[in-house]
Amino acid sequence: MLIIFGASGDLTARKLIPGLFNLFKGNHLPENFVVLGVSRSDLSDADFRKKVILESKFLNKEDQQKIEQFANAIFYQDLGETYDTNYTQLNHRIGDLNRKFKTANNYIFYLSTPPSLFEAIAKNLSDQGLNTETEGWKRLIVEKPFGYDLKTAKLLNKGIQQYFKETQIYRIDHYLGKETVQNLLVTRFANSIFEPLWNRNYIDHVEITNAESEGVGSRGGYYDGSGALRDMFQNHLLQIVSLIVMEPPIGANAEEIRNEKVKALRSLRIMRDAKTLHEHTIRAQYMSSQIDGAEIKGYREEDGVDPNSTTETYAAIKFFVDNWRWKDVPFYVRTAKRMPTKVTEVVIHFKSPHHQIFQDSGMFNKDNKLIIRIQPDEGILVKFGVKVPGQGFKVERANLDFYYSSLSETNVMQAYERLLLDAMQGDATLYARADEVEAAWEFVDPILDYWKNGKDVRVYGYSAGMWGPKNADDLIDGFGMWRNPTENLADAQEFCVIC
Ligand code: BG6
């Protein structure tokens, strides 16, 4: 039984139910599966079904027959005024459904509520004995944001761990549910051609871009208290970083992989002095502009945003990793809203050949690159030099590419689908462990602190629809500049679509 707290919220209708429905269609769900939505809205089972599934705009109407079938497994329980209340009634409802549907006392509690409620919910569940595993297993999935900084993340961990064991807690980071993020592990550890080069001897620098074309939309209220660093960098992007940085694990089980990820996160060099923080971080905010003739609001004009807000919608961070493999290799990571396109990719820039025998003036920007596209146009691209036919040895860049869409069997599970299924099967590999989350905050905290209290800190502006502020490339050493990708994996900034 999946019991969703905060079930009348957006996430349930937009991601959780569609994810579960796809699992149902694909026959991945156990036969006796039921969902119980829990929240403070006064809804009946029928109202809830109508809202999240029968009249959902997130499901394909062609599946109507299946939708109706699946709707029968969905129920609702009103908690009343507050989440911090006595759960006796809820416990009875869970017990009834458990008996009726023979769910064997196996429960997942999914907390899709503000984090301030996590501890209270965990406590109230524990008061009813709903955390004990004498009969059936009990798991707790918690949504981000997991803490506001290191201190609150630690308190949150401690708070929940009073009632649930760490092995029962699943901290969701939906980027880990993305097929292409998992493929980072496979690319590195199932091939012998990349791993020998995966170190400071061959890699010049690593670049990660996460761009979104949308602004903050209706989430201004939440976002203004968060900002890009907390919203995307501390969790999703540092998870990607950990998969790039980590050492090969002994095996593919959850603990081995997570042990290596924690080690990787702990090896990020924490920036503490103002000079480094000043030189290695850029924060910026989008400003109004016109895109395709449409007026686009600036961040400060968005609903729920303070008109004098200094919250960043763009964050770019340069950092180093203090270990044997990565010594002196700069990592450049940026995330932003209102960029020209929605794209996430990792670019591994290899060093130029130690000795250049071809006297080609443009060689410096023809380094080998491995581009791992997380989304969209998912795939992998290797850029390498080829000879231009004709006299002499002129070198040009060529592409060697792989696209996921070219696989004949491409039933790529959506992130939530995959993660929910993993939690049902007790596989925590793709969930963040307490120490991982804390290690990520440990790195992020001093940056947040500097941005808040530092003396010479700037928030730059960039027009909505541009690749960040004018000084964005200053972060990159030498003649470097960001690779500004398009929606197609093989194109970069020299390419644009006019119509
Ligand atoms: C969420 C952030 O975690 O991830 C959002 O809170 C962001 O601000 C979203 O838009 C991006 O996810 P995706 O899967 O669309 O890249």
Helix (H, G, I), strand (E, B), or coil: what is residue 327? coil
6 closest CA partner among 39, 28, 34, 48: 39
pLDDT digits (tens, 9 = 90+) for 62-119: 788 899 999 999 999 999 999 999 999 999 999 999 999 999 999 999 999 989 999 9
339 closest CA partner among 209, 477, 488, 207: 209
Q: Please identify which residue in the block is written with the tokens 């201190």.
A: 151
User: What's the pLDDT at 384?
Assistant: 85
What CA–CA distance (Å, rounded) separates 333 from 349?
A: 13
Helix (H, G, I), strand (E, B), or coil: what is residue 205? strand
Q: How confident is the model at residue 162 (pLDDT cuts 50, 70, 90)?
A: very high
In percent, the amount of the chain with pLDDT more than 70 equals: 96
pLDDT digits (tens, 9 = 90+) for 241-294: 999 999 999 988 889 999 999 999 999 999 999 999 999 999 999 999 998 888
In percent, the amount of the chain with pLDDT more than 90 equals: 74
CB-side neighbour CA atoms (13 Å) of 358? 18
Pocket probe for ligand 1: among 142, 236, 375, the residue whose CB has the most ligand atoms within 8 Å is 236
Torsion angle (degrees, nearest 10) of CA 150, 154, 155, 159? 150
With 0-12 CB in 10 A as exposed, 13-18 as middle and 19+ as buried, what is 461?
Answer: middle
Region of residue 451 (left: phi > 0; alpha: psi -120 to 50; beta: else): alpha
Q: How far is the centre of ligand 1, averaged over its atoms, from the C-alpha of 374 (Å)?
A: 13
Nearest ligand 1 atom to the CA of 235 is 3
Question: CA 467, 470, 475: angle at the middle one, nearest 5?
Answer: 90
With 0-12 CB in 10 A as exposed, 13-18 as middle and 19+ as buried, what is 154?
Answer: middle
Torsion angle (degrees, nearest 10) of CA 36, 39, 41, 45? 0
The answer to whether the bond into 340 is cis (omega within 30° of 0) is no
Q: How far is the centre of ligand 1, averaged over its atoms, from the C-alpha of 211 (Å)?
A: 10
Residue nearest ligand 1's atom 6 by CA: 231
Q: How far is the centre of ligand 1, averaged over its atoms, from the C-alpha of 339 (Å)?
A: 14
What CA–CA distance (Å, rounded) separates 81 from 100?
A: 28
Residues with catalytic annotation? 236
CB 171 within 8 A of CB 433: yes
Nearest ligand 1 atom to the CA of 214 is 10
Helix H segments across 102-212? 118-127, 150-161, 179-189
The pTM assigned to this predicted structure is 0.92
Residue nearest ligand 1's atom 9 by CA: 232
CB 336 within 8 A of CB 213: no
Helix (H, G, I), strand (E, B), or coil: what is residue 108? strand
Q: How far is the centre of ligand 1, averaged over its atoms, from the C-alpha of 65 (Å)?
A: 31
Pocket probe for ligand 1: among 14, 143, 146, 174, the residue whose CB has the most ligand atoms within 8 Å is 174
Residue nearest ligand 1's atom 7 by CA: 232
Residues with CB under 6 A from ligand 1: 212, 231-232
151 closest CA partner among 428, 448, 432: 448
